Amino acid sequence: MKSHALRAVYTRELAGYFNTPIAYVFMIIFVVLAGLFTFYLGDFFGRNQADLRSFFQWHPWLYLFLVPALAMRLWAEERRSGTLELLLSLPITATEAVIAKFLAAWTFTALTLGLTLPMWITVNYLGNPDNGVILASYLGSLFMAGGYLAIGSCMSALTRNQVIAFVLTSVVSLLFILSGFPMVLDFFSLWTPDMVVRTIASFSFLTHFDAVSKGVIDLRDLIYFFTLLAFWLFATIIIVEAKKAD
Amino acid sequence: MIEVKNLTRHFGAKVAVDNLSFKVQPGEVLGFLGPNGAGKSTTMKMITGFLRPSSGNVWVCGFEVQENSIAAQRRLGYLPEGAPLYSDMTTVELLSFIAAVRGFSGQEKLRRIANVVERVHLESVLHQSIETLSKGFKRRVGLAQAILHDPEVLILDEPTDGLDPNQKYEVRQLIRTMAKDKVIILSTHILEEVDAVCTRAIIINDGRLLVDDTPTALQPLDEKFRNLTTTDLRKAA
């Protein structure tokens, strides 16, 4: 699958983020909000614990509205401006194009996540945290961001309107968060067998992110995230192929 | 060479291209004539592999476009209608991107870019972002990316649309210089353009082939074409 075409699209996309203000706005807002939430809402100092739980617990919610903003232009913009026709009449398969664009966006979120490393340094300066747990949490957060992005990629392929792509991505992502929430699970447990409830819970980002950020990298959680990525990217490929001339 | 056989495309209940068949040999410049909505662009999209036909086949240099799209697309240069380009890139960034997708790197890539920049006269706008370019320059960048890999087959969807007379003349000149050993298909709704560059012309209307002849033989058909276009206008009105 690795080809020069894939690499070329990946490079173009990644550079594209920095050609526009999107990159800087996204990075600054993510880092600032993550900091504010950690210190004020998360009460980082008051907890008096040398860990980053109060930092990572906000990631699912920050991603909920920031990642859709990043993902909305992936395909919608190509469709609106007509460049989709330019791109897909080049010797590149839809699969390569979808993967290249996704990887570029994912790399960008990884860079943004990298900008929060001062948090890690701070907590190490103040105490002796379990750095294994922190590393696992970063990994979990990165995978979760990938999940949101894959959903966003698919929603963006559905429409030429970036606002619609944004809203759809947020809503679908919210479903993937809420499916781990007691109020949703209680609703289902009233009338469905226990197995169904557990299946619904296992769809949630929260369930798996919490598990990983406890420092235990379980194969099941990894399989969950990989399946999630594969499913949504595959759906993106199908939609791009089917709707490319609309 | 290009072979189109029983090509058909529906959009819902509407038949955009209806059982179209023709062949084009190297050295030929084929003009696609027809009123707006006749199926010219749809046919070109299917030749480039962008659009899947409802039925029928297209072979580009012996490669069936749906079955072996990558091989066909390597041999093909395409200027889509309206010349869509990534407007956040500069001219040289865009050409460099297209070259990279097509597998050129290092010296070869630089040589190819320098070559098309010279042929299409883009020297003055190399480092200008594409969104700030005039319509004429955008069209030329679109043309440059289509001929960058010196393709055997060139598909140009309304290459001179919206250009001023000088620019039109230059683009036609360029097409003529490339015509020798290539297959070129261009669409237009100006009969005079067919006269100027094409060695052969096809008139389509409602997705069906009406005439397939040389431009000179088409001269008496001027009237017929105009009627077609005016019926179209009347329909639109």
Residue B207 is encoded by which pair of tokens? 């997705």
**Is A47 or A145 the better-scoring residue by pLDDT?**
A145
Question: How close A63 comes to chain B (CA, Å)?
Answer: 26
Please report the pLDDT score of residue A214 as a whole number: 83
Contact B45 A245 (CB under 8 A): yes
A180 has a pLDDT exceeding 80: no
In this prediction the pTM is: 0.89
Task: Name the residue facing B48 among A4, A89, A93 (closest C-beta).
Answer: A89
CA-CA distance, A157 to B143, in Å (whole number)? 27
Contact A86 B84 (CB under 8 A): yes
Please report the pLDDT score of residue B235 as a whole number: 56
Q: How confident is the model at residue B211 (pLDDT cuts 50, 70, 90)?
A: confident
CA-CA distance, B118 to B8, in Å (whole number)? 39
Contact A92 B101 (CB under 8 A): yes
Contact A90 B103 (CB under 8 A): no
pLDDT tens digits for range A126-157: 888 888 888 999 999 999 999 999 999 999 99
Tokens 């020069």 appear where?
Answer: A4
B15 phi, psi to nearest 5 deg: -95, 110
Q: Is B100 on the interface with A (CB under 8 A)?
A: yes
pLDDT tens digits for range A92-113: 999 999 999 999 999 999 999 9
Q: Name the amino acid, one letter, at A205.
A: F
Which residue, among B41, B50, B51, B104, would best test binding to A if mutated, counting the most A CBs under 10 Å from its CB?
A: B50
Torsion of CA B125, B128, B134, B138, to 10 degrees: 80
Q: Which of A65, A41, A63, A67 is nearest to A53 (CA)?
A: A41
Please report the pLDDT score of residue B223 as a whole number: 64
CA-CA distance, B186 to B157, in Å (whole number)? 6
**Residue B9 in contact with residue B42, Cβ under 8 Å?**
yes
CA-CA distance, B98 to B79, in Å (whole number)? 13
Supply the DSSP string of B58-80, one letter for each residue: EEETTEETTTTHHHHHHTEEEE-
B228 has a pLDDT exceeding 70: no
**Residue A68 in contact with residue A120, Cβ under 8 Å?**
no
The complex scores an ipTM of 0.88
Residue A110 is encoded by which pair of tokens? 């990884």
Q: How confident is the model at residue A1 (pLDDT cuts 50, 70, 90)?
A: very low
The chain A residue lying nearest B49, using CA atoms, is: A89
> Cβ of B165: how many Cβ atoms within 10 Å?
8
Q: How confident is the model at residue B227 (pLDDT cuts 50, 70, 90)?
A: low
Contact A4 B105 (CB under 8 A): yes
